[in-house]
Structure 1
Amino acid sequence: MSVFEHGFPFDPAYGRSLDQLLALPAPPAPPDFDAFWRARYETARRVATAPAVGPQEEERGGFRTFGVSFTSVGGLRLGGWLVLPAEGPAEHGFVVGHGYGGRQDTGDAVPLPLPRSAALLPCVRGLGARSRRPGIPGEADPHVLHGIESRDTYVIGDCVADLWCAASALLELVPELAHAVPGEDGATGARLGYVGESLGGGLGALALPWDDRFACGQLTVPTFGDQPLRLTLPSVGSGEAVRGLHREHPEVAEVLPYFDAATAASRTRVPVLVAPALFDPAVPPPGQFAVYNALAGPRELHVLPAGHFEHAGGEQEEKELAAARRRFFAERLSA
């Protein structure tokens, strides 16, 4: 039973308790799931991102922000923001994803989770103020369907590559971030963290397993979890557009398993803090929790009462999540 009054024609809690949500497994992976994503990653790493930084646009909270552009896969030039410490060198780095509303400015991403940090806030292809491109839909529903007829053309795969290329651009612009730091398993990697919410959470879950430059990640209400189950759950988010297409073209079910955030999470070894919601009309909670449940490495859970839904207490919940995020990254990214 939903704990919030709402006008949706379905239950945004989907009739599941916390215990039930925590028992949801990831769906099985296609046999060549790992090979598919490793090849995508290798292609992205070969891109000469050629980042270019514009004049300073803002200074607040101990950070300066600049417009930035960089090249991603397919030779597509994308835009976003570069964030640098107002004083001194950067000691930590972040790539910060965004939701399906796109990114129009630096919003809540600044201040960053840690002081003395640098970040690249990309607008993934087709979305946000700085990456609208001809031929790629700029609205959520048509965007999530773009190229879905094939795993090789589906826009979500290219959006994941946009995050990898953003990391490459950041490390080129702020080379001190490439200094290795020890991980829990004794391995070393770049001093990078990933932060993503909703679309950015799902893209981050798909990106993290293959890129050892990320030492850890934080995902809030991540989408694309448990694609077979997602096809059965009504919503007001982009998943509903996929459900509608699937009814007319059931063959898309053969493509979606390659873009399952929960399946990818089962390959993730770095520490991840996940903040799934118990009630969410846009991204069904079962898929969110499937991402958390599948994580193969150190994981932390920060349960939210609701996501994508304005409610009393929401502002305080955001502050508590921000505090948890700061603590998580301070523990994981401090040398």
Structure 2
Amino acid sequence: MPSLAHAYSFDPRHGHTRESLLKVPAPTAPGDFEEFWRARYEEARAVDTAPELGPVEEERDGVRVHGVTYTSVGGVRLGGWVALPYGPVPGGAPTAGSAGPARYGFVVGHGYGGRDRPGPDLPLPLPGAAAILPCVRGMGTRGRVTGIPDTADAHVLHGIGARDTYVIGDCVADLWCAASALLTLLPELDRPEAPRLGYLGESFGGGLGALALPWDARFGAAQLTVPTFGNHPLRLTLPCTGSGEAVRAHHRAHPEVTEVLAYFDAATAATRLTVATLVAAALFDPAVPPPGQFAVYNALAGVRELQVLTAGHFAYRGMVEEIRALRAHRERFFGEHL
């Protein structure tokens, strides 16, 4: 394992090696874990998302990017972007004239900084793919909601006193509703017999994806990069610089919060996740402790692949090459499973 110089007051490896990380388990689920999440999913599927596509904001990487708004649970109207295939496709032949039918669709989750533009989420893994890039409630320039904090440390604690009010559950629903909005806009992708949706999520978006995917048969494959929310009981013992530190501080004053967190554990959810999943997990990460990331991968119940990263949420020598290798890995992975 390469040595990385840092100034943190703790070890971002938390004393682990690759071998020990591959043994980190998932916590036991509450008895009504599946019932809770299936009810949340059915509530989200009942929403009329009424997506509205805005004008083209940019054109690149084989897609035209539009603004979009859609409705999620609780009648909350959220925004984001939709990328529709058009023109030269990386690695493929140019398309003529206007955008044609999409061959694949992706829901792309974001990190705990939100997003103010599609940025590095493009290009998409497959030629001819469309995507929706939502801002979940409270996050990003198009996800602002009155009463919900827009900074990670405050957002991660919003409503944490009860499982039915915790904002993380609503953010998962925002992803389900984003998928519904994309399928409304692109009905050619709505094929229950052969799912054509993929999911991409990093950090916060990776953890949300692990919570969302076990219950949604519309997805055929996923990539979770340095996913958060894995193994909360262990995370509560590990210092970090990310949102988990705010949860740790809250837990010290309110130890009963562990009962709520048990329903929002990405590793526990992964034990029910049978969709083909690629996980990129880091050996060193000051923001999302690596044991939680690997707990998600270790728990996966279906076809799974792992790419080990030197570090997450940290700049290091060789990072550009690892990102390039991960892009190639995900293109092959989605090409095989969608």
TM-score range relative to shorter protein: over 0.9
Q: Does 1:108 align with 2:120?
A: yes
Aligned-pair distance for 1:190?
2.7
Do residues 161 (structure 1) and 165 (structure 2) align? no
In structure 2, distance between residues paired with 1:245 and 1:10: 20
List 4+ stretches of structure 1 deviating above 6 A: none
1:66-101 deviation line (CA, Å, top 9, x unaligned): 000000000000000000001422000000000001
**CA separation in 2, counterparts of 1:15 and 1:33?**
31
Identical aligned pairs, as a percentage? 68
**Aligned counterpart, 1:46:** 46
Deviation at 1:179, TM superposition (A): 2.7
Q: CA deviation at 1:189?
A: 4.1
Partner of 1:230: 235
What is the distance in 1 between the residues matched to 2:258 and 2:194? 35
* Letter aligned with residue 269 of structure 2: A
Residue 57 (structure 1) aligns with: 57
CA contact (8 A) 1:144 1:242 kept: yes
Specify the code of the residue in structure 1 equivalent to 2:23. A
The 1-side partners of 2:238 and 2:44 are apart by 33
Aligned pair partner of 1:277 in 274, 282, 296: 282
Structure 1 distance, partners of 2:303, 2:122, is: 26
Q: Does the 8 Å CA contact 1:2/1:279 hold for their aligned counterparts?
A: no
Unaligned runs of 5+ in 2: 87-98
Count residues in correspondence. 326
Contact 2:2 2:310 in 1 (8 A): no
Match status 1:261 vs 2:262: no
Secondary structure of 1:255's aligned partner: helix
1:185 corresponds in structure 2 to none
User: What secondary structure does 2:133 align onto?
Assistant: strand
Q: 5 Å matches for 1:162-311?
A: 162-180=174-192, 188-311=193-316
- Indicate the SS of the match to 2:79: strand
Structure 1 distance, partners of 2:252, 2:2, is 27
Q: Is the 8 A contact 2:228 2:292 kept in 1?
A: yes
Rounded to whole Å, the distance in 2 between the matches of 1:323 and 1:241 is 35
The separation in 2 between residues aligned to 1:4 and 1:243, in whole angstroms, is 25
Give the AA of the match of 1:216: A
1:267 CA displacement: 0.2
Give yes or no for contact 1:103–1:129 (8 Å, CA) kept in 2.
Answer: yes
- Whole-angstrom CA distance in 2 between matches of 1:79 and 1:299: 32
Equivalent residue, structure 1, for 2:142: 130
Q: Distance in 2 between matches of 1:111 and 1:293?
A: 28
Secondary structure at the aligned position of 1:303 is classed as strand
CA contact (8 A) 1:78 1:130 kept: yes
Alpha-carbon offset, residue 133 of structure 1:
1.2
How many Å separate the matches in 1 of 2:58 and 2:332? 26
Q: How much has 1:197 moved relative to structure 2?
A: 0.1
Q: Aligned partner of 1:21: which letter?
A: L
Deviation at 1:263, TM superposition (A): 0.3
Deviates more, 1:84-93 or 1:35-44: 84-93
Counterpart position of 1:321: 326
Measured after TM superposition, the shift of residue 15 of structure 1 is 0.5
Give the aligned CA root-mean-square deviation in angstroms.
Answer: 0.9
Task: Give the partner amino acid of 2:129.
Answer: S
Partner of 1:184: none
- The C-alpha deviation readout for 1:260-288, integer Å capped at 9, x for no partner, is 00000000111100000000000000000
Residue 20 of structure 2 corresponds to which residue in structure 1? 20
What's the CA shift string for 1:81-128, capped at 9, x where partnerless? Answer: 000001422000000000001011001111111110111000000000
Q: TM-score, normalised by structure 2?
A: 0.95
Paired residue for 1:183? none
Asked if 2 retains the 8 angstrom alpha-carbon contact of 1:2 and 1:13, the reply is no
Aligned residue for 1:80, secondary structure, equals strand
